[in-house]
Amino acid sequence: MEDPIPLRERHVDTKAASTSHTQVQDNQGLGRVGKKQILKRRFGFLSILGFSCTILASWEGILSTGGPAGTVYSFLVVWLGTFSTFLTLSELVSMAPTSGGQYHWVSMMSPASCQKYLSFLTGWLIVIGWLGAFTSTCYLSASQIQGLVVLNHSTYVPTAWQTVLLFWAILAFAVFVNAVASTWLPKFEGFVLILHIVGFFAIIIPLLYLGSHNDASEVFGTFRNDGGFQSEGLAFMVGMTGAMFSFTGADAAVHMSEEIHNAERVVPQSILTSVVINGLLGFGMVLSTLFTMTDVDTALATPTGYPYMQVFCSATSSVGGCTVMSAIVPILVTATAVGSLASSSRMVWSFARDRGLPGWRLLSRVNAQAVPQWSILVVTVAAVLLALIILGSAAVLNDVVSLCVSALYTSYLISATLLIWKRCTGGIRDPAVAAVDSVLVNTAGAPLAWGPFHIRGVLGILVNAFTIAYLTVGVFFSFWPTVASPTASTMNWAVVGTAGTSLLSTGYYVLWGGKEYTGPVVEIDRD
């Protein structure tokens, strides 16, 4: 007997039913932490993996940090510390996959006496940290483009106002993808993932094949102390900030959680996979650059401002080949700016939704495509204004980089410290047990329950403890200048930005914010 329902139609119906079931599960999962589904879930595993990989952009970032190509050992230490941090954040996002990320986790784990304030402060640190990340990414791409011009036209002298205009052009592209072509963002991130990997091999193959090579003893046994610090050990610790910046952005996918299918499982998978991929690519780029940088002083003195361009030129003996290889980096950094705007705008939207920002009623709105256009606008305007600092400060990049590291690392540190405290005191239970006690879990005043991703036993405690130690060191040295005797222009002013943000947000909290902000708002009925 002939089947009355064609096979193709049955396949479509099955797929639609599966999609509908997934949507119901996503909505129920978000509802368990007190939130309603507002944004649209457009990201799957591969697209959010591309998002995470390009936000981290470790091999591009390690080239952009300057210095004598970094060091093998600092990269390995930072890679290990970052992986430990990712494991800790994965446990937390699996428990509460919301766009708020760290400030939501701090709220759900803090003692009642300081729950509101700690969450509020963490939220502001994330906002300023991601604004710094977005700004520094646009600045990096703009200055690298100017470096390419210098590479091809030796008489060209870069000016600050030209940097600002390039900065704004890159920012405009990021706004276009996020606000105008927003439905294409997942596809864009998937494409950039391919470019991220292909671009790595497009650089590393000609670099190793054509370039002269240093001895292994020179690569692994030579240390430099160009900052004039008292010891090479201290110089090593200060120099780690550059490697830390190349791995900054661990929480990028976290703030996109409410736009990811099956976020409590997919987000941990994507961010852990991204740190492995980026670590391998970044380590390969570090080794390749160190082995082919045969003249360190010439590379550091390059008029382009970026030693990697001189290394490429020395290896290829061709301006054209060097230009093609070097151009891959600002292209990918520009793509990173697109993801940085997406993540920072979602963070602003989420914090506004929970009444943590002035003008929260406007900033928490979304358009017909479920895109937080007002939050995108605020982040954009803030970045446009920050770009003007370039006109008066040649050291803006180092300060913004350090601010980004210090603010975001501090938010990770607060979250990790509270997590280890809760798990050591037995405050986090099996999800099935918690579900019996309350409809809500993992929000302020509700039971805490582990998510699908959970490192059990003593190993989980050790991972959290190592994360805290690494983040403490990272925050401490992110405030240090790059030279032992800094001037006003070479001083690291990140401590001013981080402390200033903390003081201003505290004042705002005392005067007004504390009356509006009570922690992440529970948007569903508790009964």
Mean pLDDT is highest, among 305-319, 339-353, 509-523, for: 339-353
What CA–CA distance (Å, rounded) separates 359 from 424? 39
Number of H helices, E strands in the chain: 21, 2
pLDDT for 69 equals 38
As a whole number of angstroms, the distance between CA 395 and CA 258 comes to 37
- For 153-248, where are the alpha helices, taking DSSP H only? 160-175, 185-210, 216-221, 232-247
* pLDDT per residue as tens digits for the range 90-124: 999 999 999 999 999 999 999 988 899 999 999 99
Higher pLDDT among residues 302 and 402, named by residue? 302
- DSSP letter string, 402-466: HHHHHHHHHHHHHHHHHHHHHHHTT-EE-HHHHHHH-S--SSTTS-EE--S----HHHHHHHHHH
Lowest mean pLDDT segment, chosen from 161-170, 226-235, 373-382, 458-467: 226-235
CATH number belonging to domain 39-515:
1.20.1740.10
Q: Which two tokens stand for residue 152?
A: 């091809």
d(CA 81, CA 16): 42
Residue 141 has pLDDT above 60, yes or no: yes
Task: Give alpha helix (H) positions in 354-387.
Answer: 360-363, 373-387
pLDDT, tens digit, for every residue of 465-493? 999 999 999 888 888 877 777 777 677 77
Using the predicted structure, report yes or no on whether residue 61 has a pLDDT greater than 80. no
Q: pLDDT digit string (tens) for 378-426?
A: 999 999 998 888 777 756 656 666 677 788 889 999 999 999 999 999 8
CA atoms of 192 and 162, how far apart (whole Å): 27
Please state, in angstroms and rounded to a whole number, the distance separating the CA atoms of residues 225 and 269.
Answer: 39
What does pLDDT average to over the chain? 84
DSSP H helical ranges for 153-184: 160-175
pLDDT at 66 over 50: no
